[in-house]
Amino acid sequence: MNSFFPSIVSRSQSSGLMNFFVPIISIVLTLITGSIIFVLLGFDPVYALYTFFISPISSTYGISELFVKATPLALIAIGLSYCFKNNIYNIGAEGQLTMGAIFGGGIGILFHDTNAFWLLPLMIFAGAIGGALWGLIPAILKTKFNTNEILTSLMLVYVALFILDYLVVGPWKDPFGYSFPKSRPFSESGRMPLLFDGFRVHFGLIITLFLIFVSWFIFSKTIFGFQLKVSGYSPKAARYAGFNQTTLVFFAFAICGAFAGIAGLAEVSGPIGLLYRDISPNYGFTAIIVAFLGRLHPIGIIFASLVIALTYLGAEDAQLFLQIPSAVGFIFQGLVLFYLLGAELLINYKLTYKKLL
């Protein structure tokens, strides 16, 4: 007789091929589970999946919207991979995004009646600084006081959100806004240029692709990328090699914060055009899934950001055409992460059923 509960045994060698297939397997399993959920809700699963995953991108406008959503996800995810490669669990990208929007958006509000070529670059720069500074707080706490960055970075998300809340109902409230909790709109030169007339996809996409390329170069060709990797795999080996781990923690947080800050600024100066309460549908958190689905690799992250962006669009369409709550989108994101982590475990470990006597 075999025991009911399996025990988890380490595999002596994990398959490289399976490593590559993990993201694909988890997406397939997500789709299967999703159809079961749709059936239970009483929908035709084929029609529901079509509405969710095909119809949103069956028009040019839909594809443009896909890129609009994927841009911040990819940018934050590539920033997060600096931290995750170093085994630092920065969960606070949402807060760093918010701070970037506040700093960059603040410049936009200050110069709301100025039209000059330097305004947008200044806003982007301020956004990066805001995000980086917010990211450095958990870095300082971690290196000086040995606090757990998962907790501090997460708590700082809510601090940042409340600061934004305070600003848009308080000092930065639009004087002509009928007391709505929003700021003045930015001037035209404080907005991200649109790439194509009639579509919302904006210059932020170019910035994102550029930063992904730069990050690929850093990860694969520079000693800094190597140091991040070694210190993530084995802090002891990094100490043996003489890499300064405090500096690495600071850099990882600052770069991640800056990227998230630029993503936040790109949102408010791109599609939105002003500051208000809900500038991000949890991009900072969802990007964690994107980073892992893309296996912390720049190319992987590009594809993963498109897949996850689709769940945002699909949720909207599903709400519109099937009257399914848009939270289904989050369910899909959760399922992807669940299967991803599960598959990851099974790559490195196997389940065995011990014989009972």
Partner 1 sequence: MSDTILNIENITKSFPRVIANKKVTFDIKKNAVHAILGENGAGKSTLVKILYGLLEPDEGNIKLNNKDFKVNSPAEARKQGIGMVFQHFSLFDSLSVKENLILGIDEKMSYSDLENKLENISSRYNLPLDLDAPITALSAGEKQRVEIVRILLQDPQILIMDEPTSVLTPQEVESLFVTLNALVKEGRTILYITHKLEEVISICDTVTIMRSGEIIDTSSTANQTAKTLATKMLGQKLDDLKTNYEHIKDEVNFEVKNISCDFNDPFLTDLKNISFQVRVGEIYGIAGVAGNGQSELMDILTGENINIKSGSITFDNKKIEKYGPQKRRDLSISFVPENRLGHSAVPELSLSENILLSQFPKNNFIKNGIILKNNVDDFANNVINEFKVITPGNDAKASSLSGGNLQKYVIGREISSKPKILIISHPTWGIDAGAEHSIRESLIELSQNGTSIIVISQDLDELIEITHKICVIYDGNLSKPFKTSEIEIEKLGLLMGGKNE
Measure the CA dihedral 100/102/104/107, to 10°. Answer: -160
Q: How far is the CB of 295 from partner 1 (least distance, A)?
A: 14
CA 296 from chain center: how many Å? 12
Does an H or E element contain 78, and which? helix 60-85
Of 77 and 230, which CB lies nearer to partner 1 in the complex structure? Answer: 230
User: For residues 292 and 300, what is the distance between their CA atoms, to the nearest angstrom?
Assistant: 9
Instruction: Give whichever of 88 and 313 is closer to partner 1, judged by the CB atom.
Output: 88
- In angstroms, the CA 38 to CA 275 distance is 37
Joined together, the tokens standing for residue 352 give 């065995």
Nearer to partner 1, 10 or 323 (CB): 10
- Complex with partner 1: residue 29 or 347, whichever CB lies closer: 347
Closest distance between partner 1 and the C-beta of residue 17, in Å?
15
Tokens of 354: 């011990």
Pick 173 or 295: Cβ nearer partner 1: 295
Q: How far is the CB of 354 from partner 1 (least distance, A)?
A: 7
Those residues with Cβ within 8 angstroms of residue 199's Cβ, 6 or more apart along the chain or in another chain: 60, 61, 64
Least separation in angstroms between residue 38's CB and partner 1 is 40
Residue 233 CB, nearest approach to partner 1 (Å): 5
CB of 11 to partner 1, least distance (A): 8
CB atoms within 10 A of CB 356: 8
Cα torsion for 263, 58, 321, 282, to the nearest 10°? Answer: -10
Helix axes 223-233, 204-221, angle to 10 degrees: 70
Start-to-end CA span in the chain (Å): 7
Q: Least distance from C-beta 243 to partner 1, angstroms? A: 8
Distance CA 258, CA 83 (A): 12
Shortest Å, Cβ 148 to partner 1: 22
- The secondary structure element, H or E, covering residue 191 is none
Distance CA 82, CA 32 (A): 32
Structure tokens at 114: 């100025």
The site for partner 1 (CB under 8 A) is made up of 12-13, 221-224, 226, 229-230, 233-234, 236-237, 239-242, 354-355, 357
And the tokens for 353? 């059923």
